Amino acid sequence: MNFVRNVFTDAGTVARQAADAIVNLAQQRVKAGGRFSVALAGGSTPRAAYTLLSVSPLIQKMPWEQTKIYFGDERLVPHTHADSNYRMAYDALLKAIPPAIENVFPIPTDNDDVSLCAEFYEDLLRVHFQRRTDNLPGFDLILLGIGADGHTASLFPGTPAASETQKWVTWCDPASTNPNIKPAVKRITITAPVIWNAANVIVMATGAEKAAPLAKVFSENEPADPPIARLLRKCKGQVTFFMDREAGG
């Protein structure tokens, strides 16, 4: 486990610091290997970071032509829907980046059978990450958030997705175990082993409701009710947390 914890005064500073870190890491990985692969996260804090990446000075600093953009999870809604992670990323960032859409690989949501959407995306990742270690894709960076219920990506408590270790991509129906989940739609998500194998993980978290699950992630002692996000303790690479005071204490 290699955790780096950063606590800032407010959500705006979290977004700025995370955006700077993404650019610095992208430059380092391109310099070392000629390419940079990143899986985007949904959520309001990542959206703020993406907006910063879409404007000067960061848009000029990112090596966009060498960057391949994937997604860590998606809701089973059309890409034009307000609840779509792709729609959010497109509006905040993707429509502004220079090499346009040929380097962007959204999770498909155009099939009513969510399992087929998950299988298609895993097949795509297997083609793109042929040079893989331990039969897993090697993302340069995976961006994540954390929910008040302790989930990360779309690995929700009580669903089979949270314990999936064989597939790269799976799906879940979080409303089946939590009827209050919003939006109440099925999700497609990368699995824990994919997160574990990333060279770098950045977690962005803001708000007081994130404090309790984060404390359990950081605890050296196994809590009685460990959150799903505690899986981050098994990551091979560096996990960097960007938190505001309410979330990080």
Q: What is the pLDDT of residue 86?
A: 97
| Distance between CA atoms of residues 60 and 146, nearest Å | 29
Predicted confidence pLDDT, tens digits, the chain (249 residues):
799 999 999 999 999 999 999 999 999 999 999 999 999 999 888 999 999 999 999 999 999 999 999 999 999 999 999 999 999 999 999 999 976 668 999 999 999 999 999 999 999 999 999 854 568 999 999 999 999 999 999 999 999 999 999 999 999 999 999 888 889 999 999 999 999 999 999 999 999 999 999 999 999 999 999 999 999 999 999 999 999 999 998
Q: Is the pTM of this model over 0.95?
A: yes
Q: Which amino acid is at 110?
A: D
13-205: CATH architecture: 3-Layer(aba) Sandwich (3.40)
List of residues 6+ apart from 72 with CB closer than 8 A: 39, 40, 41, 142, 143, 144, 153, 154, 189, 190
List of residues 6+ apart from 143 with CB closer than 8 A: 22, 38, 39, 40, 41, 46, 72, 201, 202, 204
Q: What is the pLDDT of residue 154?
A: 97
Read off the tokens for 137: 């894709």
The b-or-e profile of 125-146 (16+ CB within 10 A means b, else e) is beeebeeeeeebbbbbbbbbbb
Q: What is the pLDDT of residue 179?
A: 87
CB of 214 closer than 8 Å to CB of 227: no
Q: What is the pLDDT of residue 1?
A: 78
List of residues 6+ apart from 193 with CB closer than 8 A: 136, 165, 168
Q: What is the pLDDT of residue 180?
A: 87
Q: Where are the alpha helices (DSSP H) in the chain?
A: 11-33, 44-53, 58-61, 85-92, 114-128, 192-196, 211-218, 245-248
Which residue reads 């959010």 in tokens?
A: 88
CB of 136 closer than 8 Å to CB of 194: yes
| Distance between CA atoms of residues 142 and 195, nearest Å | 7
Per-domain boundaries in the chain: 13-205
List of residues 6+ apart from 210 with CB closer than 8 A: 146, 147, 148, 243, 246, 247
CB atoms < 10 A from the CB of 244, how many?
23
